[in-house]
Structure 1
Amino acid sequence: MSKVDRRITKSQEAIKKAVTELMAEKSFDDITIQNIADRADVNRGTIYLHYTDKYDLLDKMIEEHINNLRELCQSASEMTFKEGNYVWFEYFENHYLFFSTMLVSKGAPYFRSRFLELVVEEYRPEVDISEGKNQGLDEDVILQFFASAMVGSVEWWFKNGMSLSAQAMAEQTGALLDRNLV
């Protein structure tokens, strides 16, 4: 495996940070490559070296976070909902600017739909409609209901300035999932 040049990593991180900060200030449509370059303190050419355009940059940022969340789910597969949710909420807290910008702004509906798809995918193995309280219900309705509730809870948390700790959010959302999903 080849070693990535630290300068490349540093430039890419500066570019990602710049676009996230700019999205917190204005609509994504109003952001130019020059705005991003100026904020990141890099040349426009550096951005084009790594990304086709600003949409490619945003897509890659979204996929990076979705993949990180997916990996967290895999590492948390033996945990309770509360424990697993804490891993997620801690990640959200550590990447506050990105997630708050993506979920609160109207400029990134694609992120919300990708996030919702990920939650549905991760909850699917937990749904059993063959017996118990979910017997006779449609699996897709159950999954959409709880995934929408989870995404909505994360949005609410950011909109309210993370008024509860990551631990409290994990405990409460985990308790609701334990009570209703399994």
Structure 2
Amino acid sequence: MNEKLDRRKKYTRMVLKDSLMELLKEKAIGSITIKEICERADINRSTFYTHYSSQYDLLHQIEEEIITDMNDTLAGYGDNKVGEERLMTEKLLEYVARNKEVCEVLLSERGDVHFQQKVMDIALNHTVTNLVKANQVEEGLSKYVSLFYVSGSIHLIEEWLKNGMDKPPKELAKIIIVLANNGLNGLKI
């Protein structure tokens, strides 16, 4: 009996999440009502409130799952070895590619700015450590350099998603790393 309830709970949560993500493709979270989510999910409001307190709570849960998954994806690189930046970037881009629809919506202007900041914080944490370890940047400047690097990378990923991921993750990772390490001098123009 418990297994049946767990499956039903999982299914309900999945349908609610999918419904919210579909609505976020059309409009911002502040314009989405619980009624709209429930209608799209074909679930009544009391069922919604059994699982979530608001549309923001539902969005927050989706974001937390993505953040956890991203951290897990990068967990194998916990010691931040010098030279692993490209592999880390590839793995992160492969994750984004596998979760294209969700990442595209959450990183867009309709997504939550706080989510984008959390993604930046994850990337900054890994980037700062690597830059200092590689002696590429002195410790006092690493936060500024990392912020520049990560902000540009996130916008590049947003554009990549908008363009239908027109380059494979490995190629985009190479572009990001070359730009980070050598600026425009590293690219053949």
Residue 170 of structure 2 corresponds to residue 167 of structure 1: yes
Give 2:17's aligned residue: 16
Q: Is the 8 A contact 1:116 1:147 kept in 2?
A: yes
Deviation per residue, 1:96-133 (Å, 9 max, x gap): 1111112222442222112111211222321218x844
Which structure ranks higher in relative contact order (CA pairs < 8 Å, sequence separation ≥ 6)? 1
Which consecutive residues of structure 2, in runs of 5 or more, have no partner in the other structure?
184-189
- Alignment length, in residue pairs? 178
Which consecutive residues of structure 1, in runs of 5 or more, have no partner in the other structure?
none
Give 2:108's aligned residue: 104
TM-score by length of structure 2 reads 0.82
TM-score by length of structure 1 reads 0.85
Give 2:84's aligned residue: 80
Q: Distance in 2 between matches of 1:120 and 1:58?
A: 23
Deviation per residue, 1:7-27 (Å, 9 max, x gap): 111111111111011000122
Q: Is the 8 A contact 2:34 2:45 kept in 1?
A: yes
Give 2:187's aligned residue: none
Q: Helix, strand or coil for the counterpart of 2:25?
A: helix
Identity across the alignment (%): 24
Summarize the alignment of residues 34-45 of structure 1 with structure 2, pairs less than 5 Å apart.
34-45=35-46
Shift of 1:134: 1.8
Q: Distance in 2 between matches of 1:106 and 1:21?
A: 12
Q: CA RMSD in A?
A: 2.5
Shift of 1:139: 2.0
Alignment-mate amino acid for residue 128 of structure 1: V
Shift of 1:138: 1.3
Summarize the alignment of residues 85-164 of structure 1 with structure 2, pairs less than 5 Å apart.
85-128=89-132, 132-135=135-138, 138-164=141-167
Q: Is the 8 A contact 1:104 1:159 kept in 2?
A: no
